[in-house]
Chain A
Amino acid sequence: DADVTQTPRNRITKTGKRIMLECSQTKGHDRMYWYRQDPGLGLRLIYYSFDVKDINKGEISDGYSVSRQAQAKFSLSLESAIPNQTALYFCATSDPTGTPQETQYFGPGTRLLVL
């Protein structure tokens, strides 16, 4: 079984709809992240969480919100989806005490299309 899972893997929605992308991990890591990737661009950080009580904005948090329901679960919500949020979304985890240091482990991604 995959250590980091994302649901759904693909999603088509309409402008204005609220949607949630979910991420679960079995690695026991405290740190979790949400990134988006657009064609030809690198990964841009949306939100990150260093533990269940810690939520931080990344470089492109506008239009998004997150919830850390437990150590293993980190959800990303688009309150009112817009077409320029069409992208590939990745969840990742890391362990600051692990070796190699702070290696990130990524989920398979969620491809989102906003019409």
Chain B
Amino acid sequence: LAKTTQPVSMDSYEGQEVNITCSHNNIATNDYITWYQQFPSQGPRFIIQGYKTKVTNEVASLFIPADRKSSTLSLPRVSLSDTAVYYCLVGDQGGSYIPTFGRGTSLIVHP
């Protein structure tokens, strides 16, 4: 199971772009990269998933370099409501995949 490493915390200000990088050096060929967002006292919710290159949706973008040993979640023009914990998960979806959440990255957006 690929282990992930991400910063424990980050601070930003409203309107800025935030990039959170996750390292997963032993990612396997069939592994996907998935990011979740968790607000206080709520369960995590899916943000974005990717396998390679770039994925974009209405919430965020996910950049994955060719070697796939890291990935970067990009949140454009954050607002106070983006204050949350962000988790990076890596695994071979389906089959015997067991989702493993680490401590995530606590993002605080300041006015």
Contact = CB atoms under 8 A, between A and B. Distances in A.
Contacts of A97: 94
Contacts of A45: 98-100
A81 interface: no
Contacts, number: 66
B77 interface: no
B101 A42 contact: yes
A106 B44 contact: yes
B87 A94 contact: no
Interface string A38-63: 00111111001000000000100000
Interface in B94-108: 94-95, 97-104
Interface residues of A, number: 28
From B49, B94, B95, B102, residue with most partner A Cβ within 10 Å: B94
From A48, A90, A107, residue with most partner B Cβ within 10 Å: A90
Nearest to B87: A42
A39 to B, nearest CB: 10
Nearest to A100: B49
Contact of B103 (A41, A104, A111): A41
B46 A100 contact: yes
Top 8 nearest A-B pairs (CB, nearest first) are A106-B43, A101-B93, A102-B93, A96-B94, A43-B101, A100-B49, A42-B103, A42-B101
